[in-house]
Chains A and B, each alone.
Chain A
Amino acid sequence: NAGVTQTPKFQVLKTGQSMTLQCAQDMNHNSMYWYRQDPGMGLRLIYYSASEGTTDKGEVPNGYNVSRLNKREFSLRLESAAPSQTSVYFCASRDVGLAGAYEQYFGPGTRLTVT
């Protein structure tokens, strides 16, 4: 049971390049999320997927697209990278735990630098 995995761990892009961040979970969770983490700003939600086949915008969706490929996988695409997208990106999935609490499980993160 690997939990939530993300690839790659590190990436450097030039402005204008595109790339896809991959995320997979093996816990049979319905909901999956993409966040970005910037110093002093905490985690901000980019997109989320409540269930397979659905995606919705979060707080900061501009410049990103997502695909919920199947129940396990949720990818984040940067079509034309900009320096403002330099950040650490986290994928998470959600379970319903004991007493109804909605626990999120996080991947280890992808550190992206755009030059």
Chain B
Amino acid sequence: GEDVEQSLFLSVREGDSSVINCTYTDSSSTYLYWYKQEPGAGLQLLTYIFSNMDMKQDQRLTVLLNKKDKHLSLRIADTQTGDSAIYFCAESISSGTYKYIFGTGTRLKVLA
């Protein structure tokens, strides 16, 4: 069945890089997404990657996709206290469906 897994917590020092990892099971995923949730708020799309790409860079964010291992990662360079939030990875299965599978979320805590 479809499943997306993430570790629950990550703690880093301000200025360091953060790497948040995600594994998924459905090999027919078309797009994979990273969402950010700040306290008391809804989810906001941070970035996404098409399944035939290996890497995508967007300012401080780098997404790496290893399709063979079904592993997705989000690297945040120069992590700031404002990056403290819960980060969700998600997959959409194909362009014909309307469903998304979300991971459990990784709570990132940035220490000053």
Contacts and interface: CB of A to CB of B under 8 A. Distances in A.
Interface of A: 4, 31, 33, 35, 40-45, 48, 50, 56, 58, 90, 92, 94, 99-109
Contact of A42 (B42, B44, B99, B105): B105
B95 A100 contact: yes
Given A42-B88, A102-B95, A103-B48, A109 B42 contact: yes
B8 interface: yes
A50 B98 CA distance: 6
A58 B42 contact: no
A33 B92 CA distance: 14
A42 B41 contact: no
A45 B48 contact: no
B31 A101 contact: yes
A109 B45 CA distance: 16
A4 B45 CA distance: 14
Nearest to A40: B104
B48 A101 contact: yes
Contacts of B88: 42-43
B102 interface: yes
Contacts of A90: 42-43
Nearest to A102: B92
Nearest to B44: A106
A92 B95 CA distance: 18
